Amino acid sequence: MAHDKMYECQKKTLFKIDDQKVWKWKKVSVSGLSKGDNTNLRCQHCYGSVLVAQQQQIDGPADHVRHQSSQDSKNCLGGSLFEGEHKISSNPVDPDLPIFEDL
């Protein structure tokens, strides 16, 4: 079952800032992602790698992301297997890339 914290994720996005192209992480709604758009995504809570899971049934969970790693799911407050103590992924996706801050 999708956790309510997994309907958004971070997507690696190219911005033009001061005439320079800069990659940053931007929070996006999973429902706004294209079908099969699993590249350049990470969990907004633990920065681990995630996959888009699409709604399968009318009464089922809406489009959401799920962790690729069960270990990340166990250690992330958004994970479906969360065990109670939040930790950053042991293999975070591009951790040094800045996060885009909406102004």
Instruction: Look at residues 71, 64, 61 and name the one whose alpha carbon lies nearest to residue 91.
Output: 71
Domain that holds residue 56: 1-103
Please tell me the total count of domains within the chain.
Answer: 1
* 28 token code pair: 């996006």
Alpha-carbon gap, residue 21 to 24, rounded angstroms: 10
**Rounded to 5 degrees, what are φ and ψ at 71?**
-65, -45
pLDDT of residue 26: 95
Say which DSSP state 60 is in: S
Give 66-90 pLDDT, tens digit per residue.
999 999 999 999 999 999 899 999 9
Q: How confident is the model at residue 1 (pLDDT cuts 50, 70, 90)?
A: very low
What is the reported pTM? Answer: 0.86
How many helices and strands in the chain, by DSSP H and E? 1, 5
